[in-house]
Amino acid sequence: MKLLLISNSTNYKETYLGWCMPLIQEFLGTADKKKIAFFPYAVVRNGETLEASYNAATEKVKGCFKNFGLEADIVSTHSVADPVKLVNESDAIMVSGGNTFHLVYELHRNKLIEPVRRKVLEGTPYMGWSAGSNVACPTLRTTNDMPIIMPTSFDCFDFVPFQINPHYIDAYPEAVNDALTHAGESRQDRIEEFLCVNPEITVVGLREATALWVENDRITLREYEKNPYNKKREMIVLKNGREVREIQPGSTFDFAMNLV
């Protein structure tokens, strides 16, 4: 199994997929032109039909690949009559970020969960960002997104045995809180609520400009080579009743979060 699970598509004041295209190229390799099944279902844009949103998302990703000089035949699942057939014929699978609830709704509606899971477990590379990383987990329940639609199930691809919270941010410093007059829960608070109800599950917080590179049962935390704003890149590991852990970029670990 080979996965690239990216926290975010866009860094502050940078282009879409700009920071992670080198990772995507490394992940896919350059030996052959790959046929990629692209899942745009998370992209829901105000004032557009879903088809228009999906078309725009597909063209945007194609443009990123072209601008980076990475050749690929990117075919969107929404543009074909039989998306399961597309999955079975593809060399790689790529899932866009956006709204995780809508993504999972469409995955179940189109009966794509099991075909994608089977294909990836057989060795087809899978990459996704934000919502696309969320759905690599057992369920969508650690998404940050608004529940704009109700899927028939919260079950996802279940490639990894833990939950991911993408775009993880720390609690605001006190001075920022004073300026914002924000007294609500931090991201950590909300994840700990989840853990209270689901004590058997591990949740990892992926900060911006980081990604999980998974090969079989080994995971490496990758990061963007640039860090102009000196942001934290460590991955947060949260378990019920345990001290919060941080894993450094460049570290390799197993599914139980043990360093190897």
Find residue 223's DSSP bridge partners. Answer: 210
Look-up of token digits 């860090």: 227
Question: Which runs of E-coded beta strand occur in 67-217?
Answer: 72-76, 92-95, 126-129, 163-165, 203-205, 210-215
79 catalytic residue (yes or no): no
* Catalytic member of 130, 158, 186, 254: 130
Q: How many Cβ atoms sit within 10 Å of the Cβ of residue 242?
A: 10
Is 7 a known active-site residue? no
Residue at 237: amino acid letter: V
Cα–Cα distance for residue pair 213/25, rounded to 1 Å? 13
155 in catalytic set: no
Choose the catalytic residue: 91, 167, 186, 251: 167
Single out the catalytic residue among 53, 76, 133, 145. 145
d(CA 113, CA 52): 24
Beta-bridge mates of residue 235: 247
Type of residue at 247: I
Residues belonging to the active site: 130, 145, 167
